[in-house]
């Protein structure tokens, strides 16, 4: 008797499953940024308030404040690379990559994020300008404006940019090129910060 009672329930569930959608199929893989240099496991350092560096949350325009990779088609037209999806928003990924690059290259205490308990005199802020593919030139483009502020009233700004040519507008090649460009820019930012 029990198998007969379950039959209508199972039939109803089968019919209902055809009506329920849990969203689009996920992409085969997600894109991330991997630092070219990393601090060694177990490494650590101490710092004074004056020598510590804090990276606060980066900003990004709406076209970059998503997990998709933008394609600049014309000066006023943007699309997105098919199946190219970041594991999280690129401004966060890039901030962590820069923090790790500075940490690995200098041994400096780098606080990644806006931790109110961390009193670092020097703060680094970024505004992402480009982090995608330019269809007009066939390049992956990484561009960011950085602002460094310290004690007192001194503020320094600088724009950094990397262009990786000859990129095919597909998820895999674009992801690899953007990782390369991001590491190039992170190295330049680290040199700029450590020179001060």
pLDDT of residue 163: 98
Pick from 128, 10, 5, 22: nearest CA to 65: 128
Tally of domains in the chain? 1
Overall size of the chain counted in residues: 196
Q: Is residue 106 part of a domain?
A: yes
> Cα–Cα distance between 122 and 184 in angstroms, integer?
22
Assign residue 101 the CATH number of its domain: 3.40.50.10610
Q: What is the DSSP string of 173-191?
A: HHHHHHHHHHHHHHHHHHH
Q: Is residue 131 part of a domain?
A: yes
Q: Is residue 12 part of a domain?
A: no
Most distant CA atoms of the chain, gap in Å: 83
Q: Is residue 18 part of a domain?
A: no
Percent of the chain having pLDDT more than 90? 57
Contact indicator for 137, 164 with CB cutoff of 8 Å: no
pTM attached to this predicted model = 0.81
The whole-number average pLDDT for the span 14-34 is: 65
* Residue 108 reports pLDDT greater than 50: yes
> Cα–Cα distance between 140 and 174 in angstroms, integer?
7
The whole-number average pLDDT for the span 100-117 is: 76
* Residue 16 reports pLDDT greater than 60: no
> Cα–Cα distance between 189 and 170 in angstroms, integer?
28
Dihedrals φ, ψ of 70, to 5°? -75, 150
Q: Is residue 26 part of a domain?
A: no
């Amino acid at each position: 008797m029990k198998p007969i009672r379950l039959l209508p329930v199972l039939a109803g569930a089968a019919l209902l499953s055809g009506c329920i959608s849990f969203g689009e199929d996920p992409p085969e893989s997600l894109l991330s940024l991997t630092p070219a240099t990393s601090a060694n496991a177990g490494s650590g350092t101490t710092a004074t308030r004056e020598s510590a560096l804090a990276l606060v949350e980066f900003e990004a325009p709406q076209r970059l404040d998503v997990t998709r990779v933008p394609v600049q088609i014309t000066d006023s037209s943007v699309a997105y690379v098919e199946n190219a999806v970041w594991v999280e928003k690129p401004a966060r990924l890039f901030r962590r990559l820069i923090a790790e690059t500075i940490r690995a290259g200098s041994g400096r205490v780098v606080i990644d994020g806006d931790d109110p308990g961390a009193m670092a005199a020097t703060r680094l802020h970024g505004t992402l300008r480009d982090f995608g593919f330019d269809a007009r030139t066939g390049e992956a483009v990484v561009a960011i404006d950085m602002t460094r502020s310290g004690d007192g009233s001194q503020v320094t700004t600088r724009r950094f940019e990397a262009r990786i040519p000859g990129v095919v507008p597909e998820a895999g090649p674009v992801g690899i090129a953007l990782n390369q460009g991001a590491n190039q820019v992170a190295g330049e930012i680290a040199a700029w910060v450590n020179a001060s």
